[in-house]
Amino acid sequence: MPTAFSKPILPHPLPIPSSLNRRPIVLAFFVFLLLRSRTVTLSKDALVSLKNSLPSVYKCPSRKKKLNPDELAKVLQQVYVDEPDGSKTLLVPYRERVIKVPIRPTSKSKFVADTPHFSLLVGTAASKPNIDLAFLAQLRAILFRIAIPSWRSSEAGIVALHSTFLVLRTVLSIMVARLDGRIVRDIVKADGKGFLKGLALWFLLAIPSSFTNSMIRHFQSLLALRLRTRLTRYLHDLYLSSNPDLRYYRASNYLEGIDQYLTADVEAWSNALSGLYGNILKPSLDLVLFTSQLSRSLGVRGTLLLFLNYYTTVAILRAVTPAFGRLAAVEARLEGEYRAGMGRVGREAEEVAFYDGGARERDILTKAYMKLIKHVNSVYKIRIAYEWTEDYVIKYLWSAAGYALIAVPILYTRTKRSLGLQTGGPLGDGKDEAVAGRTETYISNRRLLLSLADAGGRLMYAYKDLLELAGLTTRLYTLLSTLLNLPKGYQPLLVERADEICLRNIDVRIPRISKGKKHGHEDETKTIDKIVDDEDEIDVKPVENGLNDPPLVHDLNLVIKRGDHMMITGSNGVGKTAVARVLAGLWDPIDGGVSLNGEEGGQVEMPRDETEADAFFARSAKAAHTRPRPALYVLPQRSYMPVGSLLEQIIYPCSYATFIKMTSSAPPAPVRTSSISFLPVALSRAASTTTASALLSSTPSPSAAALQEIHEILEKVHLGYLIEREGGLHVRKEWRDVLSGGEKQRMGMARVLWWRPKWAVLDECTSAVSSDVEGRMYEAAKALDITLITISLRPSLAKYHSQLLTLHGPSGSEPGKWTLSRVGTAEERMSVQHEIDVLEDKLRDVEGWEKRVKELEAMLSVQEGVNKDGELDELEAEPVNGFEEEDMTASRDDNGEAEEEDHASVSVLSASEFRRDQEEYADEELESVGLSEDGFAIDEIEEEA
Ligand SMILES: Nc1ncnc2c1ncn2[C@@H]1O[C@H](COP(=O)(O)OP(=O)(O)OP(=O)(O)O)[C@@H](O)[C@H]1O
């Protein structure tokens, strides 16, 4: 009795070994049992536990309780939850529920260990991605250092499951091919029973086959998602690094359109890789298994022909394949440029609207889009020829080869004889059997050959995908190697004396990239044809300061003691902000050192991340204030409003969770989590869950005193009205658009007052604030013992400072000079201020006096109308200075005789005499208001005399 997948019953069936025959059945049986046991025998509890244990992508959040918007907002106020094991969990809103995502930041030592594996790309490796050793090295570094760091990781588990299903599908394909042959054989033999059996098996086989297909697709998508998540988290930790690395600040000097690298490229790479894995593994496996199956029936010659067929195909396709890798890299860059342009318009919408620059922006964006489209179009055109050749070769050449290969054993070889095709042989049952057997062999082989052609086709497609992956891999590798190899940041140095900032022999220079080209700076006019031949080298070179340029500030030596407020002034572009950049460690303090000394003789800096914040706050818990005081806080010239609530605008960069930690009296209750033990560590780690109500009850609130302080600070900066107007401190809005320019600057001052740093650099950050409010804010800051370092062009701010640093800027090849002077004692500064106030008051009246002078001059111009003979000409009748003719006439009438005399005297005065009279009159008027004729205060002139 023939079984479904056993050898055909013919005298000379396809010679397939029995071991290969039984293995698929065992495998299929195992899968079936596995599925059956999963669905039937798992108890309800086990299912719930399994559901809880699955990674969040599998998980449907608890259906027990949905949170209302208020509860959700309350839970989400704390972005992180501290776990008992010391890690953190990110809370992510999802359909009125909260999903917890465990976060383990990448350690700095990991970055250090990874750096040697990501050396900077130079030469053709950077400019012409290809499938070569360089590509393999890049792929290995990304995969095994970051994306799949260990075989115990969840990604490795997914790859294993994915591979299992891929193998299973190949095995199932062979079984289907066999069964196909057997069904047709039974039809040819008119064996109804066998046919029905075969059909039943066909349906049975369809179950694992279709299930396998959907699982392959599922694991492919899941793998892409996991790879993307791994890379994104790694890149977030690397890119958004705190002082002194500040990679997000410095990387833009080396890579253009870095947001495209960090977002779209990572996604494209993950999708390409996970898709390619399936597209290469499965067809390769198919190729090996199908070839081995076929070779048994094709003989040596047939097998050789099969390999010749492979070789010819690969040779033809290699010859016609364009540089897909490079094309993909260029496309990604152009996409990035277009996307960045769109983002810029969205960000600067108001500024563009004020200028009515829509048309100009449209031109810029259209140009970027057309560049992209032109490129994509060219790629499509290139593909026509390639795909035509590919289709011709894969579909038709392979099919023809398939026919030929099947015919070889049947028509010409000894197999022909062995198949019982001797001419003149007996007819009847034996012949039927032989025909049926040949049909079965043919159908099975044909199906295998078709599958082989399909596998070959997919491998060829995969070659193209592989080239594209090479392009994306090069981009991703470039990003990683650039970030990992950025030159070191600049630390504040030296600790000598407590409580002072020392700048010693500093040259402030503009950092420049001195050699090489930025990545992404490719010739805009480069056409697709040139891409292949292009020998341009795009490499990253370390930053070097523009040592040939004269420094903005040369040999700067300063000591800023606590309480010794300093104002930095000088005209635009002389390097005032540059000094702040050196102080904050953003720019290199060439030659000298900056020391920022804390009270205990150690450096005191802002906490960089949550972990450091904890240590920072723990250190300061013993101090008098519960909240620590950072050493330096810089308020930049352009106001920055982060995403978050009104409260988070004030406490930036502190998070709400940290704010609560500092201000709540009781520690938050531990949050209950659950995990299951039978999954790999990586999977169960991702599986901790918390019910919504547990989260809600564990969400602590800030203390009343802390909130009171926030209210008081807002009052001090005259923003108290915002709380009521906007609906509370926890309202989240796009504050960048909601607040006016002056309000944003006041918010900046509120941050300074809340943080109470020891030194605060205020860079033109009150330029839009009225001077009375500005004064009160300065006094409030000083009352909190904050030493101010103000960068400003407004002399009126000098009174709040005791030192004045004036920068003169470089001139020609001369380096920038500086002068330091003391502003004087507080009384002196106040008396100077008094004088300034008096003069400012007087200057306010200047407008009125100028108006009066103009009136008088107009009156004079009337007298210019007296003719040479001393008589008034027609002009006299014109209304003068707003007086109507009737008024003048009336006044003459009222004055009677005297008026007559005046009139007569006017008529006899010469023009010059009249002018002199009028000037004397004007002088008297000016004198009466205390000004000389030049507009200067008379007292001052007399004093000078
Ligand atoms: N990243 C940079 N790359 C090149 N040049 C820069 C960079 N940053 C600043 N500069 C240049 O350095 C000089 C000093 O800049 P800085 O911002 O310190 O001026 P400033 O004195 O604060 O001027 P303002 O009063 O206008 O704010 C300017 O000429 C500026 O163009």
List b or e across 232-252, with b for residues whose CB sees 16 or more CB atoms inside 10 angstroms. ebbbebbbebbbebbbeebbe
CA 141 / ligand 1 centre spacing (Å):
39
Burial zone of 904 (CB within 10 Å; 0-12 exposed, 13-18 middle, 19+ buried) = exposed
Nearest-angstrom CA–CA distance, 599 and 601: 5
**Cis amide leading into 244 (omega within 30):** yes
**What is the domain count for the chain?**
3
- pLDDT for res 141: 93
CA 597 / ligand 1 centre spacing (Å):
27
743: left (phi over 0), alpha (psi -120 to 50) or beta: alpha
pLDDT along the chain (945 residues), means of 10: 36 40 58 51 46 46 61 69 70 74 82 91 68 88 90 88 89 85 83 89 90 91 93 92 82 83 92 88 80 73 76 80 83 88 86 85 92 92 84 76 69 52 47 71 73 75 83 92 83 52 84 50 38 38 56 88 91 90 80 50 39 51 57 89 90 83 59 35 39 60 84 93 90 89 94 91 90 89 93 87 90 87 69 71 81 82 51 41 38 40 40 54 52 45 45
- pLDDT for res 114: 93
Distances (CA, A) of 481 to 70, 228, 539: 44, 18, 11
CA 573 / ligand 1 centre spacing (Å):
5
Q: Which atom of ligand 1 is nearest the CA belonging to 253? A: 1
- pLDDT for res 531: 41
**Cis amide leading into 653 (omega within 30):** yes
- Does this model's pTM top 0.90? My answer is no
Q: Are residues 423 and 389 in the same domain?
A: yes
Residue nearest (by alpha carbon) to ligand 1 atom 30: 573
Q: Are residues 717 and 596 in the same domain?
A: yes
In 15-157, the DSSP E strands lie at: 80-82, 88-94, 97-103
Q: Are residues 265 and 148 in the same domain?
A: yes
- Please enumerate in sequence order all residues whose Cβ is within 8 A of that of 451, keeping only pairs 6 or more positions apart, or say none: 173, 177, 286, 290
Q: Are residues 382 and 449 in the same domain?
A: yes
CA 579 / ligand 1 centre spacing (Å):
10
Q: Are residues 431 and 384 in the same domain?
A: yes
Using CB distances shorter than 6 Å, the residues near ligand 1 are 510, 552, 572-578, 637
- pLDDT for res 831: 60
Q: Which atom of ligand 1 is nearest the CA belonging to 578? A: 18
Q: Are residues 518 and 574 in the same domain?
A: yes
Q: Are residues 200 and 307 in the same domain?
A: yes
Q: Are residues 370 and 344 in the same domain?
A: yes
Can you give the C-alpha Rg of the chain in angstroms? Answer: 42
The SS3 call for residue 596 is strand
- pLDDT for res 385: 84
**Would 71 be classed as within a structural domain?**
no
Q: Are residues 811 and 877 in the same domain?
A: no
- Please enumerate in sequence order all residues whose Cβ is within 8 A of that of 53, keeping only pairs 6 or more positions apart, or say none: 675, 676, 678, 679, 683, 684, 687
Residue nearest (by alpha carbon) to ligand 1 atom 13: 573
Neighbours of 129 (CB within 10 A): 30
- pLDDT for res 762: 94
**Would 99 be classed as within a structural domain?**
no
Give the phi and the psi of residue 634 in degrees, each rounded to 5.
-110, 125
Residue nearest (by alpha carbon) to ligand 1 atom 6: 510
> Is residue 895 a contact partner of residue 885, using CB atoms and an 8 Å limit?
no
Q: Are residues 775 and 843 in the same domain?
A: no
- pLDDT for res 665: 57
**Would 682 be classed as within a structural domain?**
no
**Would 104 be classed as within a structural domain?**
no
Domain ends where: 824, 854, 872?
Answer: 824
CA dihedral 617, 623, 624, 626 (to 10 degrees): 10
Q: Are residues 421 and 293 in the same domain?
A: yes
Full residue range of the structural domain in which residue 571 is found = 500-538+548-664+700-824
Q: Scanning the structure block, which residue is given the tokens 């029995």?
A: 18
CATH assignment of the domain containing 650: 3.40.50.300
Cα angle, residue 903 at apex, residues 897 and 905 outer, rounded to 5°: 105
State which H helix or E strand residue 273 sits in. helix 266-320
Q: Are residues 292 and 160 in the same domain?
A: yes
**Would 677 be classed as within a structural domain?**
no
CA 815 / ligand 1 centre spacing (Å):
15
The SS3 call for residue 283 is helix
**Would 197 be classed as within a structural domain?**
yes
ipTM of the prediction: 0.96
- pLDDT for res 744: 94
- pLDDT for res 609: 44
